[in-house]
Amino acid sequence: PDWLKFFGHMVKRDSKGVATAIYYPETENDKVTGFKIRSLPKRFSKVGRTGKSSQLSGQFRYRSNNKRIAYVGGENDKVAVWGSLRKYDVHVVSPTTGEGSAADQAAMQYEFFDRYDEIYVGMDGDEKGFEANENIAKVLPADKVKIIRWSDNDPHKLLENDRSHQIVRDFF
């Protein structure tokens, strides 16, 4: 719960306390403009202004410079990576619209990424994710980009399988 709270994610629960939806805030100029809603297990809707023109998911949390940032495949991956790497002071963001448009969204946030010395890109460990990694690397400062290859399809799955130590290994 603390990891979700850090990023402003809200969980909707039914009368038995079972999670039914997660609300992910989307921002422009660090102000919430809408929410992407994930009805569990995986059906998406929205409320307010959301989409590719939004800041990256989690970007509003990082106003000061840092050495490292990770750009990962989705909001749940972002939370899993941040939680696993928080003692290493790594900033973590994700696209708001999925891996297919992750490069476009990264390009729109070029100045944000350029504040970092090292940019780690780690979309999902499947063919679409590998393609997204390549496309993202083309739009960010080439001398700063490092590609992460996850041991499983994605970091959230690693966390669910109690393998957060592997997220750290894969990252470094």
pLDDT in tens, 27-68: 999 999 999 999 999 999 999 999 999 999 999 999 988 999
Q: What is the pLDDT of residue 65?
A: 81
Q: What is the pLDDT of residue 159?
A: 96
Burial per residue of 93-108, b for 16 or more beta-carbon CB atoms within 10 angstroms, e otherwise: bbbbbbbebbbebbeb
pLDDT in tens, 66-110: 999 999 999 999 999 999 999 999 999 999 999 999 999 999 999
**What is the pTM (predicted TM-score) of this model?**
0.96
